[in-house]
Amino acid sequence: MIHVVNGPNLNLLGRREPAIYGTRTLKSIQEELEELAFCNNEELSFFQSNHEGAILDYLQKLKEGDRVIINPGALAHSSISLRDCIVGTGIEAVEVHISNISAREAFRHNSLISPVCRGIISGLGADGYRLALTWFIERE
């Protein structure tokens, strides 16, 4: 199973700053991923929360080696707890950002979780989720 975890404000996709984040909703992204997973005999689990602790609780229930596509949103830039959770659980994570965080405000340039993820996909819009899922599927 591959877990797709989304952090704060990603439930607002489709109406939140469409010039930056596009017009696709989180639901439409999930539907696309479900179709790709189904065609590849893969199971997905989706989780989104605006609360850091809820995300940590979700990740802590996973097993070492579980695969996670994570868009931490702004938590990427501020959450040492999220970083420590990824390390402590031993999950294999790919970090996804819809916008190019390196081309935005200076405070967004540094992700605290990037160093503990297998990879990062940033700035390719909602396609980043599909690319991360494809990478996990093709590695099996």
Residues carrying an active site annotation: 21, 97
3-state secondary structure of 25: coil
Tell which residue, 34, 88, 95, has the closest CA to residue 61: 88
Structure tokens at 14: 């489709």
Burial of 24 (0-12, 13-18, 19+ CB in 10 A): middle
Lookup: tokens for 81: 């707890």
For residue 43, CA distances in Å to 12, 29, 77, 78 come to: 25, 15, 29, 30
